[in-house]
């Protein structure tokens, strides 16, 4: 939406234009304004939304579906329902960007699909896609979805439809949880060891998977509840899909570590009789990522490097910024290597593309959109543009309108432009007033005072809302909310502005975040039990030193009421010894013996994980002879009293 100033500073300083009694209530949720209807109608007029080619590809080769589209866990709890998205079969309503609606409908097509002879995909039961390849002795499974329950149901659909076969190999294309979390629904470590099953992943996979999901897991997961629409129900005026897939499946996330990490481009391997050529793509969509080519099938699997959307250079849930230039080059590399012979392209999201000419054109568009945003940001930054100025100045190139596969259904030109700026220049744009600015709560209160008080700010926000200028309305009303988070008028009108921006958003992530933010402004953060951010399945795959790094990231040094001390942990099952130094400001773990520890704790790694997960108390372990403490018996309690337990449902829209 284009910024349109509607009020002068003098008018703002003049005080409220209306008495409090003149400030009307915010509109009810779920209704599109005329400005939103007009904006969405303009999208429908500009794009060929009735083009049937993508629907033909999204449904091509479907041979089976999970009955009823439902997946349940062992206790019978529903973890996925395809029927919840059936409303997408209807024409796009005024409460949704029609381009995103089209993408969401395509991504919701679910079932088992044959890609070419010997290659199938299970799609539509999670954010990601599971690919299955027929090997000489069993199934080669690529990317086993997000959760154990979803993966188990997907494999059952494969076996029930195609005939039961053992899993002969497991391949992770990259280090994001929706591509490895369901591993134990496919195969357990005991079977991997017994049958010598290869588990292949890109170089750096283990370190990247643990770092993102353990050290920063609470904050990322909290923001992911907004980004993926986890706190809003499916419906025409709420969650309609992420743009990358229909949504995240519920259930348990696991981690089975790879038996081998693969590096290099063009690395050739024979996996259960099937020839693979692996292409390293580290530092693109994930810190550790690979694509591969199957020469016998002339099939190119592009992982999440090239899908049917413009992806995130910086995801809204938070992660390391990605390298748009390296991303573009990686796509160009496979275009040059395999573009002359590949006949089908499939990925870890969305549906395949068939035909050499079609896949070459799609790869070129994918390459170009990352190169375009990279180069155009640097062009403007090198002439003095700030992050926001560069993002606002970059227009949509023509090729983004020629086909849908490079449109911003997940990432967007605006926020990806800011990500490119951040990669090169950091968070600061060079304006000194921004370098050491006041915290938002403090500055908001002063802005509101300067503009004549809360009533004046809310009144001006309503004027902007009525004019369809929702970005400006949100900026004004956000000041009022941060100045006084109990101001219900400001909260309700800010929620209304967010809702209209969500209704207009072409990015599924933007839509879900806006609508989730609106819901939290109206009703506060969810009161449900927080999701389990760690479980035994995940923790047992984490290297020991990284478990202690996680503890160190929770250390609250202001709680230390005794002299600094050290602890030593001796693990009976792994043979590892960890020294943990607790200082005045930091905890420092190392794989070594501690000098003069206050206590030495001897236990198994598994029991240490149980302590972290709070599934077994220390006293019970001591009574069972599974935990021995030599030295100060209060040292373990002292350690846990120094650790801060994160509050998962922290407020995101108010101070």
pLDDT tens digit sequence for 500-511: 999 999 999 999
Confidence check: pLDDT of 159 > 80: yes
Considering only 8-17, 69-78, 231-240, which range has the smallest mean pLDDT? 8-17
* Res 407: pLDDT: 96
Short-list 105, 70, 76, 74, CA closest to 88: 105
Give the integer Cα–Cα distance in Å for 355 and 340. Answer: 11
The CB density around residue 561, as the number of other CB atoms within 10 Å, is 8
Confidence band for 534, pLDDT divided at 50, 70 and 90:
low
CB 253 within 8 A of CB 181: yes
Please provide residue 171's backbone torsions phi and psi, each rounded to the nearest 5 degrees. -130, 130
- CA dist 127 and 107 (Å) reads 9
The domains found in the chain, sorted by start residue, are 9-30+438-504 (1.25.40.880), 35-47+56-424 (3.60.15.30), 543-641 (3.30.1050.10)
Q: How far apart are CA 565 and CA 635, in angstroms?
A: 9
Provide the pLDDT for residue 614: 86
Per-residue pLDDT of 254-265, as tens digits, reads 999 999 999 989
Q: What's the average model confidence in pLDDT over 445-461?
A: 95
pLDDT category at 327 given cuts 50, 70, 90 is very high
Instruction: Give the Cα separation of 413 and 642 in Å (integer).
Output: 43
C-beta separation of 265 from 285 below 8 A: no
Q: Is the pLDDT of residue 494 over 60?
A: yes
Which pLDDT score is estimated for 318?
85
Question: pLDDT band at 8, cuts 50/70/90?
Answer: very low
What would the two tokens of residue 93 be?
């309503």
Strand order in the sheet with 119-123: 62-64, 111-116, 119-123, 130-134, 139-142, 167-171, 199-202, 260-262
DSSP label at 317? T
pLDDT of residue 526: 86
Which tokens is 118 given? Answer: 């010997």
**pLDDT score of 19 more than 50:** no
Comparing CA positions, the residue from 472, 471, 470, 492 lying closest to residue 481 is 492
Of the ranges 151-165, 314-328, 605-619, the best mean pLDDT one: 151-165
Tell me how far apart the terminal alpha carbons of the chain are, to the nearest angstrom.
27
Q: Which residues of 458-476 are buried (b: 16+ CB within 10 A; e: fewer)?
A: bbbbbbbbeebbbebbbbb
CA atoms in the 13 A half-sphere facing the CB of 22 = 11
Q: Rounded to 5 degrees, what angle do the CA atoms 81, 82, 83 make?
A: 90
User: Max CA-CA distance within the chain?
Assistant: 79
Measured CA to CA, the distance from residue 376 to residue 419 in angstroms comes to: 12
Are 435 and 337 in contact by the 8 Å Cβ rule? The answer is no
The top-scoring range by mean pLDDT among 16-25, 57-66, 550-559, 642-651 is 57-66
Q: What is the pLDDT of residue 531?
A: 62
Angstrom distance (rounded) from CA 288 to CA 281: 7
Query: What's the whole-number average pLDDT of the chain?
Result: 92
Phi-psi group of 76: left, alpha or beta (phi > 0 → left; psi -120 to 50 → alpha; rest → beta): left
The per-residue pLDDT for range 171-182, each reduced to its tens digit, is: 999 999 999 999
The pTM assigned to this predicted structure is 0.91
Q: Residue 231: name the closest of 646, 500, 514 by CA.
A: 514
The pLDDT confidence band at residue 5, using thresholds 50, 70 and 90, is very low
Q: Give tens-digit pLDDT for 377-416.
A: 999 999 999 999 999 999 999 999 889 999 999 999 999 9
Q: Residue 243 in contact with residue 410, Cβ under 8 Å?
A: yes
pLDDT greater than 50 at residue 425: yes
């Amino acid at each position: 939406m284009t910024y349109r100033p509607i009020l002068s500073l003098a008018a703002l300083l003049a005080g409220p234009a209306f008495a409090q009694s003149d400030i009307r209530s915010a509109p009810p949720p779920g209704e599109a304004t005329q400005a939103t209807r007009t904006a969405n109608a303009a999208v429908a007029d500009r794009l060929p939304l009735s083009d049937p080619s993508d629907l033909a590809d999204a449904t091509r080769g479907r041979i089976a579906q999970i009955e009823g589209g439902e997946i349940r866990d062992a206790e019978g709890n529903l973890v996925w329902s395809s029927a919840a998205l059936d409303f997408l079969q209807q024409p796009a309503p005024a409460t949704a960007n029609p381009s995103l609606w089209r993408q969401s409908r395509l991504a919701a097509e679910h079932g088992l699909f044959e890609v070419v002879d010997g290659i199938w995909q299970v799609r539509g039961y999670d954010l990601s896609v599971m690919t299955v390849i027929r090997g000489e002795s069993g199934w080669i499974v690529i990317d086993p979805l997000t959760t154990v329950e979803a993966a188990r149901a997907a494999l059952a659909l494969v076996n029930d439809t195609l005939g039961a076969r053992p899993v002969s190999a497991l391949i992770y294309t990259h280090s994001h949880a929706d591509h490895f979390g369901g591993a134990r629904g496919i195969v357990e470590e005991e079977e991997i060891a017994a049958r010598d099953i290869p588990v292949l992943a890109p170089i750096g996979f283990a370190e990247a998977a643990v770092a993102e999901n353990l050290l920063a897991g609470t904050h990322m997961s909290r923001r992911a509840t907004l980004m993926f629409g986890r706190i809003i129900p499916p419906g025409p005026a709420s969650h309609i899909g992420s743009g990358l897939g229909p949504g995240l499946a519920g259930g348990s996330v696991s981690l089975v570590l790879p038996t081998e990490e693969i590096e290099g481009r063009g690395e050739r391997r024979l996996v259960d009789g099937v020839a693979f050529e692996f292409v390293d793509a580290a530092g693109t969509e994930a810190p550790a990522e690979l694509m591969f080519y199957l020469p016998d099938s002339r099939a190119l699997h592009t992982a999440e490097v090239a899908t049917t959307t413009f992806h995130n250079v910086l995801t809204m849930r938070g992660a390391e910024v990605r390298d748009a230039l390296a991303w573009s080059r990686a796509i160009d590399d496979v275009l040059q290597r395999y573009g002359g012979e590949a006949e089908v392209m499939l990925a870890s999201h969305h549906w395949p593309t068939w035909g050499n000419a079609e896949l070459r054109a799609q790869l070129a568009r994918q390459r170009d959109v990352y190169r375009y945003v990279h180069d155009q940001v640097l062009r403007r930054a090198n002439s003095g543009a700030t992050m926001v100025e560069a993002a606002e100045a970059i227009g949509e190139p023509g090729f983004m309108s020629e086909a849908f596969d490079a449109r911003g259904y997940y990432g967007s030109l605006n926020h990806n432009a800011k990500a490119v700026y951040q990669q090169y220049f950091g968070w600061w744009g060079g304006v000194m007033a921004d370098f050491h600015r006041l915290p938002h709560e403090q500055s908001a209160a002063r802005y509101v005072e300067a503009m004549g008080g809360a009533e004046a700010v809310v009144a001006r926000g309503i004027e902007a809302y009525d004019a369809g200028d929702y970005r400006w309305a949100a900026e004004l009303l956000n000041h009022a909310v941060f100045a006084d988070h109990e101001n219900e008028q400001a909260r309700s009108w800010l929620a209304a502005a967010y809702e209209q921006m969500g209704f207009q958003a072409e990015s599924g992530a933007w839509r879900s975040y806006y609508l989730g933010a609106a819901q939290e402004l109206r009703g506060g953060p969810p009161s449900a039990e927080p999701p389990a951010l760690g479980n035994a399945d995940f923790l047992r795959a984490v290297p020991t030193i990284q478990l202690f790094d996680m503890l160190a990231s929770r250390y609250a040094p202001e709680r230390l009421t005794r002299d600094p001390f050290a602890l030593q942990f001796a693990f009976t099952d792994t043979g590892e010894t960890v020294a943990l130094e607790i200082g005045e400001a930091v905890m420092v773990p190392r794989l070594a013996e501690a000098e003069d520890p206050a206590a030495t704790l001897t236990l198994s790694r598994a029991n240490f994980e149980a302590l972290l997960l709070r599934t077994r108390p220390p006293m019970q372990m001591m009574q069972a002879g599974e935990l021995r403490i030599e030295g100060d018996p209060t040292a373990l309690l002292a350690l846990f009293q120094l650790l801060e337990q994160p509050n998962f449902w922290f407020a995101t829209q108010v101070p």
